[in-house]
Amino acid sequence: MTPGGEPIFFRAGGIRFDVADIDRLLEVIRGRSAKTVGLQFPVGLRTKAVELAQEIEAQTGVTCLVSADPSFGACDVPDMPVDLIVHLGHAPMPHLRYNRVFFYDLPSPPLASFAFLDAALPLLPRRVGLLTTTQFRGWLPAIREYLEKKGHEVRIGEPDRRVAYAGQLLGCDYHTATVVEKDVDGYLYVGTGDFHPLGVAILVPDKPVVIADPERGTARNLAEVKDRILRQRHAAIARAHDAQVFGILVSRKIGQERMELAKDLKALAEKHDRRAHIFLMDLVSPESLEGYRVDAWVNTACPRIAIEDVLQYRQPMLTPQEFEIVLGERAWKDYMFDEIRA
């Protein structure tokens, strides 16, 4: 996933983050007697980094190190040589064992208008599963109430070991959607991009997924995007059909590393008389894969890489499940969207 994949709301500075209002953070830093503090930001909060470091240093006397490696989520929390790491803008993944990391919760921005919900209403079935990402999670009670007033039955799926909040979607985990599948006729996703709800649309193919976009104040059904992406996936599988040498990508990032899966896929390739080699890296990017003599890639890192960035790579880029289809171990009718499960 590229920095361009960050939620627009962060990029637009829409997140509520007032450096004057960090008492709780200062308390944590003082409470841990930290001398050095590492600061990690999603791309859209970089504009606040210097101001925050300055304020923390002035108020507590610690030395701050700003982590300038990009951070794409709670899956991506690089270790730092400091007493305490403060990670902003993402909710922790409960199953991961982070080492001296404090996730500094930022409140959701004010819910100023229901226009995006009004736009969604005509597209919604009666029973709705409500979904969002971490930055809008504070809106869910108000949205539920609004929808119920309009006659809808609303379900918000409970979180599990990989997601922190009810109704929260990750780009690699759709548990809060699938757990309420039996009780809903469709989903409403509150957010700005297509990727998170796309996984839901593919995993639950017979129920509509509607996006209500609070930035634009508009809503749309995801069916068309889903069909386009599935055609792309079909094409990637077809292009990889005769590939002899596969490169299996494994991320070093704490919440993206699936080495055991990669080794299983390598063995599966060899069972089918194909060659496969494992490539280990921090950030997967087109530049970092240039020059290697492989016919196709299989991505076990962040699922967005294969789906969103596929056109940037010279060779076909497959998910693990698509690789199984290429090898004849899975049928296209059993197509599954890739998730990273704990």
Residues of this chain that bind its own copies (CB under 8 A)? 3, 38, 43-44, 46-47, 49-51, 53-54, 63-70, 78, 80-81, 245, 247, 249-250, 259, 263, 266, 275, 277-284, 287-294
Q: 259 — phi, psi (to 5°)?
A: -65, -40
- Secondary structure letter of residue 335 according to DSSP: -
Alpha-carbon dihedral of residues 323, 161, 89, 131, nearest 10 degrees? Answer: 80
Nearest residue (CB) to its own copies, 68 versus 142 = 68
Nearest residue (CB) to its own copies, 226 versus 266 = 266
From the CB of 49, what's the least distance to its own copies, in Å?
6
From the CB of 79, what's the least distance to its own copies, in Å?
9
CA distance 111 to 148: 17
From the CB of 229, what's the least distance to its own copies, in Å?
26
Nearest residue (CB) to its own copies, 229 versus 289 = 289
From the CB of 277, what's the least distance to its own copies, in Å?
5
Dihedral sign computed on CA atoms, order 197, 171, 7, 147? positive
Interacting residues of 73 by C-beta distance below 8 A, sequence separation 6+? 42, 90, 170, 171, 255, 302
Nearest residue (CB) to its own copies, 76 versus 213 = 76
CA distance 229 to 198: 9
Among residues 139, 147, 145, 148, the alpha carbon closest in space to that of 168 is found at: 139
Rg for the chain (alpha carbons), in Å? 21
Measured CA to CA in angstroms, residue 98 lies from 79, 224, 301, 317 at distances of 9, 39, 18, 30
- Secondary structure letter of residue 81 according to DSSP: S
Nearest residue (CB) to its own copies, 67 versus 135 = 67
CA distance 114 to 119: 9
Nearest residue (CB) to its own copies, 220 versus 277 = 277
How far is it between the farthest Cα atoms of the chain? 63
From the CB of 273, what's the least distance to its own copies, in Å?
14
From the CB of 340, what's the least distance to its own copies, in Å?
18
Q: Are 16 and 108 in contact (CB under 8 A)?
A: yes
Nearest residue (CB) to its own copies, 40 versus 132 = 40
In this structure, what token pair is assigned to residue 171? 């780009």
Nearest residue (CB) to its own copies, 49 versus 203 = 49
From the CB of 203, what's the least distance to its own copies, in Å?
29
Residue 242, helix vs strand vs coil: coil
Provide the residue type at 5 as one letter.
G
What residues pair up with 40 in beta bridges, in sequence order?
A: 87
CA distance 257 to 255: 6
From the CB of 283, what's the least distance to its own copies, in Å?
8
Nearest residue (CB) to its own copies, 218 versus 244 = 244
- Secondary structure letter of residue 170 according to DSSP: B
From the CB of 18, what's the least distance to its own copies, in Å?
16
